[in-house]
Amino acid sequence: MSAAVGESLDASPAPSRAGSFHGRPVGVAGARNPLAFPSATLSDMPFPLNPFRGLPNGREVWAWGMYDLANQSFQLLINTLLFSLFVANVIAPTRQAGLAMWSQMGAAAMILVVLLSPIAGALADQRAWKREILLTTGIVCAALTTSLALLAPGQIALTWVLYLSAAVACGLGENFLGSFLPEISTARNVGRVSAIGWTMSYVGALLLLGVTAAYTLVFQRGEIEQMRPMFVFSGLWFAAGILPAFFLLRERAAPQSGRAASAIAAAFVRLAESARQSARYRQLVRFFLAFFVYSMGVLTMVYFLGLIGDRLGFQLPQLIVLALVIAVTAGAAAAVVARVQDRVGHKRTIAAFLLAWIAATLAMAGAELFHVPAAAYWVVAALIGVALGGVGTASRAMVGAFTPPQRAGEFFGLWGMVYKLGGIAGVLAFGLLASALGQPAALLIVAAWFTAGLLLLQRVDEREGVEAAAGMPSVG
């Protein structure tokens, strides 16, 4: 990074304590309502050439966003696009056995992340290890991703070990990345900072898909078995993207004394304490319930997207272009959220993108029911991208707004747990429903999940949630 760019990233002076996130007035004395953002906030929204303009800690936000950009090499290329097809068509003895194996590995990885997330999050808060765990999980995932290229047909057990370890490391790292959001943002810009990270992840997706498309077309590698070099590239991409966080992302929390003899026992003590204080954070609990329900739909669509496209007859180059359409529209949606979320509110933003999800799943079901030409799926792909990019960053910002800084690792660990639980329930249910009722009926039920999540979201009081995280008395 050049000096000029570095200066532009940190152009603004550091804020005073009055400008900090939770529990204090923002900007001026007497501004006790953390939701009453001034209209001037819009003038600070990111510009295309420099989204970090006006941020007091632009370098750190850039480093944080670079991790988001880096882990797309696993989230997109491995999970969504390539490795599911590799398992189904190369590793397993038959395609049907491969599909079952992929479903089992994905569910097992999510279950392990669910079990480990709250413990790891509480442990990170107790010992101030968020940064160390974030970097360690990234390095582990990067190394294991490169090793996937060594897998040969029939190596079922080794595939399980390598993929499961990499997926768990990536899932835990994603949680810890989110846990830095309350520390690197303020009440004025939490939505903007979250959207910057989300947008950078889709920039990473576009770059990765561009490289994959070039490799496939230029070198005429249209078969999934020829994708092994892309597994190596994915791991190296992840490792390189971690470097900015290593140098620039800071751990602000101090180690906390625990009442238990060991760190693990201390983690359980903190979890028990969170349960006792759950009434104080009741809006976060309500949001987690809504988030669980609509995450069933989000992860179902993400997890089955490549296999659905393959079933519809898309060849690998076409699947890559389909993923490009989704990435472009998702990145655009995340960029739009950066400009409007802090003004219109997190709840309204999420609701708008849940409506987009409902429309996308209904369109997919209708297209298959009425035998619409395959070209129609390109339009649906764009709608899926808008919904995916928007609801992701808006949901993460809502959790950040509802989270007290001293419990960031723990609450974002719970956020990851809820997300993965929704994924487990959704993926397993969709597989069973599609087998019993057919894919169009299963997609209609996914639309119902999004609708139920939207209805549950209406029970969330955004103002009360932010005030609880800030330590302010609830009004009304």
Structure-block tokens of residue 176: 């810890």
Q: How confident is the model at residue 132 (pLDDT cuts 50, 70, 90)?
A: very high
32: helix, strand or coil? coil
CB 63 within 8 A of CB 193: no
Token pair 């974002």 in the structure block, residue? 412
- Poorest-pLDDT segment among 21-30, 117-126, 439-448: 21-30
Q: Burial, 236: exposed, middle or buried (Cβ in 10 Å; 0-12, 13-18, 19+)?
A: middle
State the Cα torsion 119-288-282-134 to the nearest 10°. 40
DSSP of 177-221: HHHTHHHH--TTTHHHHHHHHHHHHHHHHHHHHHHHHHHHHHTT-
User: Is 24 a domain residue?
Assistant: no
Q: What is the pLDDT of residue 340?
A: 78
Q: What is the pLDDT of residue 374?
A: 66
449 has a pLDDT exceeding 90? yes
pLDDT for the residue 175: 81
- Comparison of pLDDT for 301 and 414, the residue scoring more: 301
Which residues, other chains included, contact 432 with Cβ-Cβ below 8 Å and sequence gap of 6+? Answer: none
Cα of first residue to Cα of last residue in the chain, in angstroms, is 49
- Range 45-58 average pLDDT: 70
pLDDT band with cut points at 50, 70 and 90 for residue 50: confident
Residue 20 inside a domain? The answer is no
Both tokens assigned to 128: 């101030």
- Evaluate if residue 345 carries a pLDDT over 80: yes
Longest alpha-carbon distance in the chain: 68
Q: Which pLDDT belongs to residue 180?
A: 87
- Number of domains making up the chain: 1
H-type alpha helices, 58-155: 58-70, 72, 83-86, 95-127, 130-147
Q: Which residue has the tokens 């990111």?
A: 46
pLDDT value of residue 39: 28
Distance CA 462, CA 468 (A): 10
CA pair distance 186, 346, nearest whole angstrom = 14
| CA nearest to 422, candidates 279, 293, 236 | 293
What Å distances lie between residue 230 and 49, 149, 267, 340, CA to CA? 30, 8, 39, 37
pLDDT tens per residue across span 74-106: 998 999 889 988 998 899 998 778 877 888 888
Residue 262 is predicted with a pLDDT of 64
| Residue 10 belongs to some domain of the structure | no
Classify residue 339: in a domain, yes or no. yes
Least confident of 204-218, 226-240, 265-279, 438-452: 265-279
Reported confidence tier of residue 33, pLDDT bands at 50, 70, 90: very low
Q: CATH number of the domain that 371 lies in? A: 1.20.1250.20
Say whether pLDDT at 6 is over 50: no
- Rounded to 5 degrees, φ, ψ at 50 are -150, 85
From CA 50, how far away is CA 28, in angstroms rounded? 27
pLDDT of residue 145: 97
CB of 45 closer than 8 Å to CB of 339: yes
Strand partners, 47: 50
Percent above pLDDT 70 for the chain: 83
Grouping H, G, I as helix, E, B as strand and the rest as coil, residue 50 is strand
Binning pLDDT at 50, 70 and 90, where does residue 52 land? confident
Measured from the Cβ of residue 372, the count of other Cβ atoms closer than 10 Å reads: 15
Is the pLDDT at 23 greater than 50? The verdict is no
Residue 30 forms part of a structural domain = no
Q: Which domain holds residue 332?
A: 55-252+261-469
Output the CA–CA distances (angstroms, integers) from residue 228 to 49, 90, 413, 429, 468, in the order listed.
Answer: 35, 11, 33, 31, 49
40 inside domain = no
pLDDT band at 358 (very low <50, low <70, confident <90, very high): very high
Q: Mean pLDDT across the stretch 147-158? A: 97
pTM: 0.73
Q: For 47, which DSSP code? A: B
Q: How far is CA 425 from the centre of its chain?
A: 18
Higher per-residue confidence, 93 vs 378: 93
Question: What span, in angstroms and rounded, lies between the C-alpha atoms of 9 and 51?
Answer: 9
Report pLDDT for 305.
Answer: 79
- Take residue 393 and report the two structure tokens written for it: 């960053």
Q: How confident is the model over 189-215, as a mean pLDDT?
A: 85
pLDDT the model gives residue 205: 85
Q: Return the bridge partners of 50, or none.
A: 47
Q: Tell me, yes or no, whether 42 lies in a domain.
A: no
pLDDT tier at 451, thresholds 50, 70, 90: very high
- Find the helix or strand (DSSP H, E) in which 78 lies: none
pLDDT score of 435: 72
Average pLDDT value over all residues in the chain: 80
**pLDDT category, 183, cuts 50, 70, 90?**
confident
How far is 155 from 431, CA to CA, in rounded Å? 25
Q: What is the 8-class DSSP label of residue 151?
A: -
In a domain, 143, yes or no: yes
Q: Is the pLDDT of residue 452 over 60?
A: yes
Q: Are 399 and 287 within 8 A, CB to CB? A: yes
Q: Which of 57-66, 161-170, 329-338 has the lowest mean pLDDT?
A: 329-338
DSSP 339-367: HHHHHH-HHHHHHHHHHHHHHHHHHHHHH
Give pLDDT tens digits for 207-254.
Answer: 999 999 999 988 888 889 999 999 999 999 999 999 999 999 988 877
Q: Distance between CA 108 and CA 387 in Å, rounded?
A: 27
Least confident of 112-121, 191-200, 406-415, 433-442: 406-415
As a whole number, mean pLDDT of residues 419-443 equals 83
pLDDT of residue 359: 93
Q: Would you tell me how many other CB atoms lie within 10 Å of the CB of residue 7?
A: 11
